[in-house]
Structure 1
Amino acid sequence: MKKDPVIREFHLTDAVLKQKADEFINLLDRDIAEFTDRGYTPAKKTEFTNARNAVDNFPSDEQLEAIKIDLTTKKEAARSALEKTMRTILNMAENVFGFGSAKHKEFGASDVSRQSDSELVRNAKIMSVTAAKYLTNLASEGLTAAKITTLTSQKDTLDLAIDAQAKGISDRDVATEDRIEVLNILYRLLTKYAGIGQDIFYETDEAKYNDYIIYDTPSSLPEVAPPPVES
């Protein structure tokens, strides 16, 4: 069964959410007597602080994206190097055997730039075997055992880079979901203590009541409605 995507339960930016948590931790210390009466314990403070720290220590979306971009750049560089070597060997085969000849076709498809990454790796493997087979024939074009080794090495490098990129994308997706879950946990605690704070200071201390309102977000806790006026 497909897992439902994790969604943010809030409309604050990550930075503002973390800042609000910092503020509330300090507010609860200030109002410790009132919150202790409502069941706020050192263990619960540790829970709140740990949730704040988990957000603070988690890689940001920008950091995760940068890792993915770096892996993609490395993969593209590996592909470019392999393509260049393959085109050179194909040109050697064309000069000796003629374009489209049976022996030329043994080196694999010639449109290397249009092949997918996996197709290019497979074609490079075929080409390395064929180049070794016709090394003597292509020696006059400059083909050497060292160049065939380079081809094989570049093929392996691209193969590993493809896997690394795929893993990087998967890791980023997982990490992004994990980060949202960590943020949601902190937000739930924030709204819990905001609600308690508003309840404690409702009609007793307007300034402190206002301290526990989450501002600047559609997800702000609504102010408690005043009781109806008796007629």
Structure 2
Amino acid sequence: MKKNEVTRLYNFSDARLIEVGNEKIAFMRRDLEAFLSFGLNEAKFLDLETKISQFSDLVTDIESSNEQVQITEQKDAKAEELRTAIRSVMTRVAQKYGDTSARYANYGTDGLSKQSDAELLVTAKRVVRVGTTNLANLSEEGLTNAHLETITQLNDDFNNLLINQKLKIGERDILQEDRVEEGNAIYALLMKYTQTAQDIWETSDVAKYNDYVLYNTPSGEEEPSNPIV
């Protein structure tokens, strides 16, 4: 069964979650005695603090996105090297047979610059296969086995970079999902603990009650929209 997409329970940034979490823990320690009869103690506050600290150390989406961009740039550069090597062969094929001939078309390089990554992988192998078969006929145009071996090597390198790109995309998705789940867990605990605090001081201490208000807004502060308290 396909797992449902994980969505964040809070509307503010992860940085704001960390800031608010540490702020509320400070208030909880200040008011520790009032929490004890509700089963909330220093051990639980320390556990939440540890979760927040570990959360702050997680790789951010910006970092994993940059890694994905870098591998994509390397993959695209290698694809262009591969196309250049293929064009070098096709220039020789055109010299021998003409670029409108059936023999030229047999290499499958039509629209080379617009071919997808998957199509380029297939085309490169096809050029090597057909080129090897016709090597004797094209030798007078300067085609050598070294040209075809270069294409094979570039194609292997390109394929490896393509795989690495897919892996990076997958890793980014996993990291982002993990981050959302851990952030949600922290937010849920904060909601539980602050709600307890508000119940304690709702009718006895307005200042302390307000210390524990959480606003689920983009800024994490009170805004014209309805707050979650």
TM-score calculated relative to the size of structure 1: 0.87
Q: How does 1:160-199 map to 2 (within 5 A)?
A: 160-199=160-199
Q: Identify the residue that residue 201 of structure 2 maps to in structure 1.
A: 201
Q: Identify the residue that residue 22 of structure 1 maps to in structure 2.
A: 22
Q: How does 1:12-161 map to 2 (within 5 A)?
A: 12-161=12-161
Identity %: 32
Instruction: Find the aligned partners of 1:35 and 1:186 in 2 and give their Cα distance.
Output: 18
Instruction: Find the aligned partners of 2:115 and 2:226 in 1 and give their Cα distance.
Output: 48
Aligned-pair CA distance for 1:5: 1.3
Aligned-pair CA distance for 1:219: 7.4
Q: Indicate conservation of the 8 Å contact 1:191/1:221, yes or no.
A: no
Instruction: Find the aligned partners of 2:150 and 2:192 in 1 and give their Cα distance.
Output: 62
Letter of the 1:165 partner, please give it: Q
How many matched pairs? 222
Question: Structure 1: 5+ residue runs without aligned partners?
Answer: 223-231
Aligned pair partner of 2:228 in 201, 216, 221:
221
Letter of the 1:77 partner, please give it: A
Q: Indicate conservation of the 8 Å contact 1:125/1:152, yes or no.
A: yes
Letter of the 2:90 partner, please give it: L
Letter of the 1:80 partner, please give it: E
Instruction: Find the aligned partners of 1:219 and 1:183 in 2 and give their Cα distance.
Output: 22
Letter of the 1:201 partner, please give it: W
Q: Indicate conservation of the 8 Å contact 2:55/2:183, yes or no.
A: yes
